[in-house]
Amino acid sequence: MNYNVLNTKGSIRDFSVMKDKVLINTLKDIKLDDQILYPKFDEYNFSSFINDKYLFYGNLETMVLYDFNNNIKKELNPEYSYYWDTLENNKVLISFNRRKNNLGKKISDYHWLHLEKNQLEKLLFIEKAQNKIFNRSVIITESEFLIKSLSLNTGKYEWEINLEQEIYNYQADGIQKIIGIYDGVLWLSCSKALWGIDISNGKILYTYTKPTEIMNLSDIKLDFFRGYDGYIDGENKKIVGFEHETYYELDLTDLSLKYWIFTQECNKIAAYAPHIGNKCYTKTHIYFIDNINGKIVIFNRITKNFDWIYTFPPESCTGILNDIQISKNKLYVLDTGGTLHIFEKE
């Protein structure tokens, strides 16, 4: 698998890719596949795909839901925060009226919004502004140790779990990532552990602080944990990831956690995967950027080989490598200087 440099674009604030479509927020406007959606620059401009049918864009004064398959635009209330993961049957969860309660905590009012009728249902719940939503439940991170589950159907808390003692025992940082839900299990991590939690009651089902097997090395003494920036590959029933020099697979059928440690190989190519973020996943590969060494790496999950390594020439970047996304035939990397580097598959 090889890519060739196609071109670069400057003055890019952020971008997102959905299949073969590219949505770009520039210092001049917002564009979809080089077609202008919003013609003015505002420091609060934003844009993002929701799924393969919808995207939204706007700023503090304007917000638009765009059905790009049918070229239909719908003006939205910019005072609302929209949780597009919940979009179903023309209904979406929204929040507004952010404020602080008597304890100084940030709270908001949450409602279901009927998009066609532009009508709010009755108040569902009041909660802090930051949360992460999965399907029909909302998992709220109260702190770096506490996780709560709240039903989007009833607006009631279902359970909570405090991991402070476990994290303290591991001498780790707080909760690093809520990976996702698979087959009724919520997977989340800290820097030295990975947990599987029963989504129905909040009980810890599985805890990993080391692999069950190291596949390519023997007689090695581990002084690190890898597995806290995983990606759920539901089709293959695995959680997979690549952190620094280690590729890992958690088999969600037999619950074995396997490591492949590539210290020598990573030293040879002078490239290492970030511990958190800056990765893309396919059925067969993991794409990542090493922003310290200025490289793009494609790792083959099947053969356990590095299929492609690209080193950015000196002076080719206007900042640190910051984001990587892929489409069917192209690869995109954005640096912090606002240059979008575009590659095309051979």
- Cβ atoms 24, 30 nearer than 8 A: yes
- Cβ atoms 84, 92 nearer than 8 A: yes
Burial class (CB in 10 A: 0-12, 13-18, 19+), 150: buried
The candidate with the shortest Cα–Cα distance to 336, out of 326, 314, 315, 321, is 321
The two structure tokens encoding residue 152: 């989007």
The phi-psi region of residue 19 (left if phi > 0; otherwise alpha if psi is between -120 and 50; otherwise beta) is left
pLDDT tens for the 346 residues of the chain, in order: 899 999 999 999 999 999 999 999 999 999 999 999 999 999 999 999 999 999 999 999 999 999 999 999 999 999 999 999 899 889 999 999 999 999 888 899 999 999 989 999 999 999 876 678 887 788 888 789 999 999 998 999 999 999 999 999 999 999 999 999 999 999 999 999 999 999 999 999 999 999 999 999 877 889 899 999 999 999 999 999 999 999 999 999 999 999 999 999 999 999 999 999 899 999 999 999 999 999 999 999 999 999 999 999 999 999 999 999 999 999 999 999 999 999 999 9
**What count of other Cβ atoms lies within 10 Å of the Cβ of residue 208?**
22
The two domains 138-209 and 211-310 share their CATH topology (first three levels equal) = yes
For the structural domain made of 211-310, what CATH number should be given? 2.40.10.480
Length of the chain, in residues: 346
- Cβ atoms 145, 162 nearer than 8 A: yes
Pick the CATH number of 138-209 from 2.40.10.480, 2.160.10.10, 3.40.605.10, 3.40.980.10: 2.40.10.480
β-sheet bridge partners, residue 186? 181, 197
- Cβ atoms 42, 59 nearer than 8 A: yes
Domain assignments of the chain as residue spans, ordered by start: 138-209, 211-310
What are the backbone angles phi and psi of residue 174, rounded to the nearest 5°?
A: -70, -170
DSSP-derived letter for residue 267 is H
Q: What is the DSSP string of 91-119?
A: EEEEEEEEEE-TTS-EEEEEEEEETTTTE
346 vs 337: CA distance, rounded Å? 27
Burial class (CB in 10 A: 0-12, 13-18, 19+), 69: exposed
154 vs 172: CA distance, rounded Å? 35
CA atoms within 13 A on the CB side of 222: 17
What are the backbone angles phi and psi of residue 331, rounded to the nearest 5°?
A: -130, 135
